[in-house]
A and B are shown apart, each in its own frame.
Chain A
Amino acid sequence: DTAVSQTPKYLVTQMGNDKSIKCEQNLGHDTMYWYKQDSKKFLKIMFSYNNKELIINETVPNRFSPKSPDKAHLNLHINSLELGDSAVYFCASSRRGGGAGETQYFGPGTRLLVL
């Protein structure tokens, strides 16, 4: 059983389109995250939710909108896609998220290519 799963695995789309990436975790964790890993392999936090509440919101264009229907799911919707959005997007989860030093469990990633 996959602990943190993401769909789709690959996403190729045209500039200007709107797309969504879905994430689900079956670990019973309270906190979920979205990261972006660019071509230089730097992994940067975008958002995190704790029990459906937004707790981390980094400097991300407002074309990116996370949605958490319940604590096991965190989806990422991207409007008006741009070339610079091409990257690998990782979802992750951690047990609580209120304290520091928690292990994060990552999904397999979604490879987004904007043409």
Chain B
Amino acid sequence: SQKIEQNSEALNIQEGKTATLTCNYTNYSPAYLQWYRQDPGRGPVFLLLIRENEKEKRKERLKVTFDTTLKQSLFHITASQPADSATYLCALNKAAGNKLTFGGGTRVLVKP
């Protein structure tokens, strides 16, 4: 069965450092991979989308990589700030239809 795994343990990181989160998947061939941010008590907010034929995508301090051979995406937050503290969810999407399958999320805590 399809499986999307994110590190369920919280990631504690010092302000200014780079946070790196992983999203691994099995039994799935996604055409797109999205990353969302979720703050406590709120709905997820879209951050970045990367296509299967793209290796890397950047947006301000965020960088996403997508390796379809390793079946893995990495999500980097550079120069992290306390305001980056949240749960980050990866979501996979096949080529047809808009059904998103989410991972369980990784909580990031940036300490000043």
Contacts and interface: CB of A to CB of B under 8 A. Distances in A.
Interface of A: 4, 31, 40-45, 48, 55-56, 90, 92, 94, 96-109
A90 to B, nearest CB: 5
A42 B102 contact: yes
Contacts of A92: 43
B10 to A, nearest CB: 12
Interface in B74-99: 87, 89, 93-99
B98 A40 contact: no
A100 B97 CA distance: 5
Interface string B22-40: 0000000001101000000
Chain B CB within 10 Å, residue with most, of A31, A102, A104, A107:
A104
Given A48-B99, A101-B32, A43 B94 contact: no
B98 A97 contact: yes
A107 B43 CA distance: 6
How many of chain B's residues touch chain A, expressed as a range? 20 to 34
A43 B34 CA distance: 14
A24 to B, nearest CB: 14
Contact of A101 (B44, B49, B87): B49
30 contacts: A4-B43, A31-B98, A41-B87, A41-B105, A42-B102, A42-B104, A43-B44, A43-B89, A45-B99, A45-B100, A45-B101, A55-B97, A90-B43, A100-B31, A100-B32, A100-B98, A101-B49, A101-B51, A101-B93, A101-B98, A102-B98, A103-B34, A104-B44, A104-B46, A105-B46, A106-B44, A107-B43, A108-B41, A108-B42, A108-B43
A56 B45 CA distance: 21
A42 to B, nearest CB: 5
A100 B34 contact: no
Given A101-B32, A106-B45, 9 more contacts: A4-B43, A31-B98, A45-B99, A55-B97, A100-B94, A101-B49, A101-B51, A106-B43, A108-B41
